[in-house]
Homo-oligomer: A and B are copies of this chain.
């Protein structure tokens, strides 16, 4: 404990005063912390470390957090699967477009392959112009360059770039003369009836790792030599000075740039230039080794997505009169990685919600004839049967999760203490769902108090347990309260949820399981 540096520990205080609970953004400045900050006292409580600071602030840290290992942003070789062509002898990472669109799991698999192996292919993407932009927008944002929002790769009458002719192109990365370089590239095949014109990929991280193994001094030269990459045409004059192999502070390979076409004039001493060219030629020879060349054909409707900071891409020569037409665009890895993380987070959330139904929810429901899980599943099924919109089905299905989420349990409610389960449930669900789902949940108890006030006979139909909790929750609304409630934008939705809630207590009714609702919930998280 005494070993934990005080400013580090305090900067990571997770309390709501120090940090926005939703965005995780800190609410103080590093210079707001006092000079001579120190730990006044610390104790271990329930797997947490509790700290009293010299300035009186209190912090509480999960011990698992304190002891966690160093991790990374996923961009260096440490988080990649470096490959040779034979690793894909049984097939490359690929998925059908329709499945990718319809299944969060399939989408996560594709994006995970791009993150880990550097590429994936979507098959059966509609072979129409500009479709490549729609593919990019499923996980990120298109990066516009001097080539435009998208570019066409085919024979053109007046080529100003080699990619637009039919000659073979050896493995290279794109746009090294841009800084920031586009970190992702997409190539969507609209037509490929030309003989030849296959696509090739080389794992530039692997090639760099081979260089490091075989010639560590050459590797070092390439990491420490900023190379001027240049491109000019009538409306463009780009230059970026970056190393061929970029490593992080720990020496791990992080980015590769490789494109002899656009290397301008490097300057330095004769010895530096000599050493650079020797290392560069050795690296170039490695990238051309047959075992590193992965070749496959892109047919009409295929869309290749690959990491332009890592993979070198190539094309075999093709007949100039053959019809080959790709449309490409650039995008960035950060958004792809974010989308992947959110997919994983949502999947974990659905698992956690599902566990409530299987675990605590399978227990007694406050004196009713059904369990809480059955009650909520029936409410969801009633909403579905009534043809309600998905967000209302979700609200009906999840309206009582707050019984398990607060400091007070549902049991407390039956002992006369309001556990405010509508608030805690809505707050917990707001991590993943929008207000169209959470607001009817937050208001579903208020809706009971409202209906008791305004609808003759409603109160008389309440179950015995519900009549009891009504008192704990504040009793029927006053006329003024009811008018205010009715004016709330989500009032109608909350009343609808409330009615399904009341009906969903039938011990004999057929009840779908949680998995039935999972796709609907997943779609609402999008």
Contacts and interface: CB of A to CB of B under 8 A. Distances in A.
Nearest to A223: B249
A24 B233 CA distance: 8
A75 B179 contact: yes
Q: Which of A72, A145, A338 has its CB near the most chain B CB atoms (within 10 A)?
A: A338
A342 interface: yes
B142 A144 contact: yes
Interface string A48-77: 000000000000000001001111111100
B31 A281 contact: yes
A432 interface: yes
A324 to B, nearest CB: 21
A332 B248 CA distance: 23
Interface in A220-242: 224-226, 228, 230-241
Contact of A25 (B7, B145, B161, B277): B161
Contact of A238 (B27, B33, B334): B334
A179 B254 CA distance: 12
A508 interface: no
B249 A225 contact: yes
B239 A73 contact: yes
A461 interface: no
Contacts of A405: none
Interface stretch (A263-271, A355-363, A494-502): A263-271
B25 A270 contact: no
Given A335-B146, A342-B237, A265 B7 contact: no
Contact of A431 (B65, B145, B234): B234
User: Oligomeric state, in number of copies?
Assistant: 2
A170 interface: yes
Contacts of A250: 226
A178 interface: yes
A262 interface: yes
A238 B284 contact: no
B24 A334 contact: no
A11 B225 CA distance: 16
A232 B24 contact: yes
B270 A4 contact: yes
Interface of A: 3-5, 7-8, 11-12, 20, 22-31, 33, 65, 68-75, 141-146, 160-162, 170, 177-181, 183, 224-226, 228, 230-241, 243, 248-250, 260-268, 270, 273-274, 276-278, 280-281, 284-285, 288, 332-335, 337-338, 341-342, 345, 430-432, 434
Instruction: Give the 4 A-B CB pairs with smallest separation, nearest first.
Output: A180-B180, A70-B267, A7-B277, A237-B341
Contacts of A7: 274, 277-278, 281
Nearest to A149: B141
Contacts of A270: 3-5
B284 A31 contact: yes
A334 B143 CA distance: 13
Contacts of A5: 270, 273-274, 277
Contacts of A273: 5, 8
Nearest to A182: B180
A231 B263 CA distance: 36
Given A7-B277, A69-B267, 7 more contacts: A5-B277, A8-B277, A23-B161, A30-B281, A179-B333, A180-B332, A240-B334
Nearest to A175: B334
Given A5-B277, A274-B5, A277-B5, A338 B238 contact: yes
Please indicate which of the listed interface residues A3, A20, A143, A241 has the most CB atoms of chain B within 10 Å of its own CB. Answer: A241
Q: Which residue, of A11, A68, A432, has the highest number of chain B Cβ atoms within 10 A?
A: A11
